[in-house]
Structure 1
Amino acid sequence: MEKPGTPSSEQSDKAKKYDRQLRLWGDHGQSALECAHICLINASASGTETLKSLVLPGIGAITIIDDVKVTPRDVGNNFFVDSDSIGRPRGEVALHLLLELNPDVRGTFVDQPLDEILDNQPDFFTPYTVVIVTCLPESTLLALSKVLWDASVPLLIVRSYGMIGYIRVQIEEHTVVESHPDSEMPDLRLDRPFSALQKYMDSLDLDTMDNKEHSHVPYVVILYKSLQEWNSQNGEPPKNYKEKKAFIEMVKKGMRERKNVEPEENFEEAIKAVNTSLVPTSIPSGIQSILNVAASITPSPTTKPFWIMARALHEFVTSEGRGVLPVRGTIPDMTADSEKYIKIQNL
């Protein structure tokens, strides 16, 4: 007899199944997806393709509202109906095939005209996370949009015309605290080091180190030392290509030449990191605009967590932050001895 799966084994199986998307939006994003209940109005080709892209990653539940029957035209353009289903309820047929894609997803079908639901069941859409609409006449769409706006339920309108199409979204203010940027510059603060970091890096003397220690100094220290020397000669950090090229030559001069020994890897890392590490410390305009709004907010029990965080961030920037954001708290991997790397990481 097969033993029932434990929660940990189930979690492990789910992690394997959804591995790629978990890397994209993490546990919180997957949890939000699995708790969502999506309503699709009209199981057209565009509608079923949209649902497919939600069923595969594991949406919690779907409901299809569609009161039409499958026609030969549907068979020609909709992957989720077939010739045997002609004359049957289109939403029911599409739902059955969609649920076959992922047994984790629950689904229901409503064979009722949308106008009838709007007239007789105004609270019908309240439980849904998002309502997706395809192929609706404008008058019905406007009536639906008003009902959803009053219920604070997002509306997604999908329409396709051959090889082109559009998506329209109706939603109230949507705030995100946990973002996943495509790329992140390392936040090393070399142009504006905070006092503890500056004190530590000033305490290190590259000239008095032996060869082994010299080749294991974290490259952030190398860049800091080189930047101090550059600033003493030029007054400000390198900005353009020509200046950064000259700065790289300055970094190279700090490498120790030893016969039959590979170049110091930490200095090579420093040279490669010049363009990403010497970025001026500033607040991006998009974040600054949020902080400007947050400055006028007085937090209350009804304030969204996003704006409470933004208000706190504004207060930090204007006080101990000295006009800049908090240090991100992570540093890149570096060729370095453990003691110095961990020290900088802790700082």
Structure 2
Amino acid sequence: MSYKINYSLIRLLFVFKLKGIMAADRYDRQVRLWGDEGQICVEHASICMLGSSALATEILKNLVLTGVQSVHIVDSALVTNPDVGNNFFVEEEEIGEPRAKVAVRWLKELNPSVEGDYDIRSVEEVVRTDLESLQYFTLVIGSNLHEATAVTISDFLFDRNVPFLHARIFGFVGYIRICVKEHTILNSRAENVAPDVRLDNPFEELNEMVDALDLDSMSYEEHSHTPYLLLYLKALKLWRKELQDETIFPDDYKKRKHFEKVLMSLRRPQPDTDSLEEENFIEGRTALARSMRITKVPSNVRELLDHPKAEEPDCTPFWVMIAALRRFVITKGVMPLTGILPDMISDSERYVALATIYRKRATEDAEKVFEHALEIIREKQLPDDLIKLADCEFFCRNASMIGVQHGTTITQELNSQLENIFADVRDAELTPNPNTGVVQIPPAVWYILLRAVDR
């Protein structure tokens, strides 16, 4: 007995399920991945898809579900019998209708908050007569385009710094080629970033808080809830006094091990058991290597500060803020403080006091960077509202994680030499997959075949 799969029913059930999830908390999971600022970028993104094949609709499905602002499909193709079998977003009753129109209709069902539009001209016609219209999208995606068409689009958008993503599939083989001149990163969301606590050069308010700290007169409860940052600075004074060196800092393994002994000597025994296992000290010992660090400008940031655009920025907010950061670093010798305090065992009063000290200094640093940014805006005669204080605060909070990526065009790839690729093909060993027994084709072979498709 054979069964006919009811794709319409499956799709509707999928849509109803998604609507229920979105009504509760639409984008909760992805916000955890890229943060509120990332979601704001997504929700302001306008996507142009050149083509409406199954590949195109699958790509757009994933973008629509994230909540992009709008999608626009360009394609002159009509729905055919083969489409019904391989494209989830068309059905038999729609044969003969414009495929772009049908795809937009069903994609909007997945997320009604996303705007959808279509153009039933061919991609080739748009490229030939209306190429300029593509520069106004946030991202342009080409689906199974002929190489010559993709080259024209890539060259045009590259000069205007509009990202172009070219995707092609041939059965189970495919590739994605990203073409963008310059991609700026305001927050790489790196994991396990060392805390920015500046213990090698603590500010005055922090020193005052440490000087007022009398560990000997505290109750055990107060002692065991003293934040480890304060314990570090208390131990640092004792360690330097012992070594008779007021500038030494435990910034390597040997020094840290010696400093650790001084730190742990400050522990107090638990009244009932005489145990020395105070959790704040255990936590402090664990965080020692990440916290006791010399404050310096990270190499990735230094590279940007040395970039010509950091001295003579263009009109983009990113490079204006990089130039402002450069002036701040030249003046202060350090990066602006992030103001982000790591979690630690503490009573509420002292943790809030610590957090306030760091937050106040971070705000002052961000305001100084903002002043430099306004100076640059006036010098370059740029719009007064190009950058706001909130932009600088976010920028300074994530300044250690900024970056720039530079790409190439498809033309540059086509004009590149293939000697290394051919060498990989010649030297390749065709070995069977240990699990399936099927011969594994080296990536270089697939690359040559994909390059040869349109020739």
**Does the 8 A contact of 1:230 with 1:237 survive in 2?**
no
Residue 184 (structure 1) aligned with residue 198 (structure 2): no
The one-letter code sitting in structure 1 at the alignment partner of 2:67 is: G
Aligned in 2, Cα 1:14/1:227: closer, same or farther, shift over 3 Å? farther
Q: Residue 40 of structure 1 aligns to which amino acid in structure 2?
A: M
Quote the Cα distance in structure 1 between the aligned partners of 2:91 and 2:282: 61
Structure 1 stretches lacking a partner, 5+ long: 1-12
Q: Decide whether the 8 Å contact of 1:71 with 1:87 is kept in 2.
A: yes
Structure 1 match to 2:292: 278
Q: Please state how far the C-alpha of 1:166 moved relative to its aligned partner.
A: 2.9
- Corresponding residue number in structure 2 for 1:237: 250
Q: Secondary structure at the match of 1:307?
A: helix
Aligned pair partner of 1:290 in 271, 292, 304: 304
Per-residue CA deviation, residues 202-228 of structure 1 (Å, 9 max, x unaligned), is: 443433434343223211011223344
* Residue identity opposite 2:293 in structure 1: V
Distance 1:245 1:83 in 2: 73
Q: 1:199 to 1:92 in 2, by over 3 A?
A: same
d(CA) in 1 for partners of 2:83, 2:235: 68
1:327 and 1:120, CA in 2 relative to 1: closer, same or farther beyond 3 A?
A: closer
Output the aligned Cα RMSD: 3.0
Alpha-carbon shift at residue 62 of structure 1 (Å): 1.0
* Alignment correspondent of 1:115: 124
Give the 3 Å change call, closer, same or farther, for CA 267–163 of structure 1 in structure 2: farther
Equivalent residue number for residue 310 of structure 1? 322
2-structure distance, mates of 1:253, 1:173: 53
Q: Which structure dedicates a bigger proportion of its chain to helix?
A: 2
Amino acid at match of 2:279: E
2:230 aligned to which of 216, 221, 228: 221
State the distance in 2 between where 1:23 and 1:59 align.
17
Change (3 A) 1:222 1:44: same
The answer for the alignment partner of 2:422 in structure 1 is none
Alpha-carbon displacement from aligned partner over 1:72-111 (angstroms, at most 9, x marks no partner): 5444443323455445433233222212111111212222
Indicate the residue corresponding to 2:353 in structure 1: 343
CA distance in 1, matches of 2:188, 2:326: 18
The equivalences for 1:1-347 within 5 A come to: 16-149=25-158, 152-162=161-171, 165-177=174-186, 180-230=189-239, 232-233=242-243, 235-237=248-250, 239-240=252-253, 244=256, 247-260=259-272, 263-293=277-307, 297-298=311-312, 303-319=315-331, 321=332, 323-347=333-357
**Using the alignment, how far apart are the partners of 1:115 and 1:131 within structure 2?**
15
Counterpart of 1:277, as a letter, is S
Counterpart contact for 2:220–2:270, Cα < 8 Å:
no
Task: Summarize the Cα distance change of 1:56–1:230 in structure 2 as closer, same or farther, 3 Å threshold.
Answer: same
Corresponding residue for residue 9 of structure 1: none
1:173-202: per-residue Cα shift (whole Å, max 9, x none)?
Answer: 333445533343221122332344234324
Which stretches in structure 2 are left out of the alignment for 5+ residues? Answer: 1-21, 358-455
Contact kept? 1:219, 1:266, Cα under 8 Å: yes
Counterpart CA distance in 1 for 2:24 and 2:44 is 16
Identity %: 40
Question: What is the TM-score normalised by the length of structure 2?
Answer: 0.64
Deviations 1:258-278 (A, max 9, x none): 342574332222123223222
Across the two proteins, how many residue pairs are aligned to each other? 330
Question: Which residue in 1 is equivalent to 2:363?
Answer: none
3-state SS of the aligned residue for 2:136?
coil
The 1:325/1:161 distance shift into structure 2, 3 A limit, reads farther
